């Protein structure tokens, strides 16, 4: 009896280990935007450790069958990792990344990844044409829990409603337990080919860190810009996408920036000052996990406001997109008695973990117990914002307009 139970236990551990193990076939294929925005894209994927090399093949999207003579090839940077979490079986994997460069605006491309024997399917992406004035992107608050069973609804509904989305942006807490490979397996299963067709951007949340250490999956499986302060590459960065400068501040670093004199806070404040003071982009959006103003009654991030809000107001940031509070809140506010400018602050949630939005003055619109995705459309002089529920219904909307260099809110 004991022997049977033992074998069952070993067998179930083996099966559980295999559910998220890498194989010789590429999986977890994901596109990330580069700092340059629209003329290059980064591709990352995973295999088992027996795969010796990785490369990406790509060409302009043909009308029919793929013609091999049109294919270009780029060799990936490959690194070997062992992911461990608690007493779960270790996951041994190779992570491959490469960048496709010199892409033409307005064109569609197909690509596949592999090692010469095993390949992914041919996948497709495109960038807007130079004379295409408007583009949309999707923004999600925390996915975090029930990633496969419930968060999948939201990312798939968002893709159905906005298939042309230029990229998808996550405001942190992509999973619940940093380093837990099984949760990353769920995250990738939820997004599947969407992640390999629409470039993804993410800023980390506190759940993407474990005791001040970033989840080792982050820099291995994503290829995000390295133009932030030293030590915060791929978590604090900016991209320029047409007339938008999008900035990620890593508010989860340094245990949620708990030391206001710590290097994580001080280096990002100095860096933000430089990147806000050095842009001609018409629209500026900042994303960071912790909300500047919290919907939840018991929460407040005064230190974040103290250090970053003066810069946001000085340089006229239009929109601040956050997560962390598992509810929805949207409004304008300032800690200054005489602010020159106020951005719109938004807090949202995409996964099913829920908190109650409290009774706070800063919120013009709030929501509890709703999973949401946001469609943000940017055009010269105009920014349109829509929040939609998990079943696709419009939940909130507003518009920003640039009038004589000033931003006006219409809602
Ligand atoms: Fe969080």
Per-residue pLDDT at 8 exceeds 70: no
What separation in Å is there between the alpha carbon of 314 and the centre of ligand 1?
27
Per-residue pLDDT at 13 exceeds 70: no
Distance CA 32, CA 38 (A): 11
Distance CA 2, CA 40 (A): 58
pLDDT tens by residue, 365-385: 999 999 999 999 999 999 999
Per-residue pLDDT at 4 exceeds 60: no
- Which pLDDT belongs to residue 276? 98
CB 144 within 8 A of CB 136: no
pLDDT tens by residue, 151-204: 999 999 999 999 999 999 999 999 999 999 999 999 999 999 999 999 999 999
What separation in Å is there between the alpha carbon of 13 and the centre of ligand 1?
30
229-234: average pLDDT:
98
What separation in Å is there between the alpha carbon of 322 and the centre of ligand 1?
10
What separation in Å is there between the alpha carbon of 298 and the centre of ligand 1?
14
Per-residue pLDDT at 9 exceeds 90: no
Per-residue pLDDT at 118 exceeds 60: yes
- Which pLDDT belongs to residue 12? 45
List domains and CATH numbers for the chain: 21-126 (2.60.40.380), 135-410 (3.60.21.10)
What separation in Å is there between the alpha carbon of 163 and the centre of ligand 1?
28
pLDDT class for 404, splitting at 50, 70, 90? confident
- Widest distance between CA atoms in the chain: 81
Share the mean pLDDT of the chain: 95
- Which pLDDT belongs to residue 15? 45
Per-residue pLDDT at 2 exceeds 50: no
86-101: average pLDDT:
96
Chain centre to alpha carbon of residue 316: 23
CB 218 within 8 A of CB 204: yes
Residues whose beta carbons lie less than 5 angstroms from ion ligand 1: 173, 205-206, 324
What separation in Å is there between the alpha carbon of 323 and the centre of ligand 1?
7
pLDDT class for 405, splitting at 50, 70, 90? confident
What separation in Å is there between the alpha carbon of 351 and the centre of ligand 1?
12
């Amino acid at each position: 009896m004991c022997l049977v139970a033992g074998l069952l236990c070993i067998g179930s551990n083996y099966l559980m280990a295999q559910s998220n193990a890498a194989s010789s076939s590429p999986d977890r294929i994901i596109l990330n935007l580069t700092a340059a925005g629209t003329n290059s894209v980064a591709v990352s994927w995973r295999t088992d450790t027996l795969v010796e090399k990785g490369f990406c093949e790509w060409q302009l999207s043909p009308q029919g069958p793929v013609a091999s003579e049109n294919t270009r090839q780029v060799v990936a940077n490959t690194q070997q990792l062992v992911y461990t979490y608690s007493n779960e079986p270790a996951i041994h994997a190779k992570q491959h990344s490469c960048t496709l460069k010199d892409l033409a605006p307005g064109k569609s491309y197909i690509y596949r990844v592999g090692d010469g024997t095993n390949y992914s399917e041919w996948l497709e992406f495109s960038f807007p044409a130079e004379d295409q004035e408007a583009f949309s992107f999707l923004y999600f608050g925390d996915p975090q829990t029930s990633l496969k069973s419930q968060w999948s609804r939201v990312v798939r509904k968002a893709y159905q409603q906005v298939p042309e989305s230029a990229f998808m942006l996550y405001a942190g807490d992509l999973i619940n337990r940093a380093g837990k490979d099984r949760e990353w397996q769920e995250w990738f299963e939820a997004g599947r080919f969407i992640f390999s067709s629409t470039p993804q951007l993410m800023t980390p949340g506190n759940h993407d860190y474990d005791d001040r250490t970033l989840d080792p999956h982050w820099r291995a499986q994503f290829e995000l810009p390295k133009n932030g302060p030293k030590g915060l590459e791929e978590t604090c960065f900016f991209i320029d996408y047409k007339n938008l400068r999008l900035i990620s501040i890593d508010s989860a670093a340094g245990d949620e920036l708990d030391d206001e004199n710590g290097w994580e806070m001080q280096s990002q404040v100095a860096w933000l000052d430089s990147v806000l003071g050095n842009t001609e982009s018409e629209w500026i959006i900042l994303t960071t996990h912790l909300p500047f103003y919290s919907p939840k009654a018991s929460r407040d991030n005064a230190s974040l406001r103290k250090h970053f809000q003066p810069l946001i107001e000085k340089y006229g940031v239009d929109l601040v997109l956050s997560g962390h509070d598992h509810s929805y809140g949207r409004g304008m506010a300032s800690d200054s008695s005489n602010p020159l400018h106020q951005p719109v602050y938004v807090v949202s949630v995409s996964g099913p973990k829920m908190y109650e939005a409290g009774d706070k003055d800063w919120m013009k619109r709030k929501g509890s117990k709703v999973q949401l995705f946001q469609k943000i459309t940017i055009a010269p002089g105009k920014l349109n914002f829509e929040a939609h529920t998990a079943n696709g219904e419009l939940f909130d909307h507003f518009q920003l307009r640039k009038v004589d260099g000033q931003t006006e809110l219409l809602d």
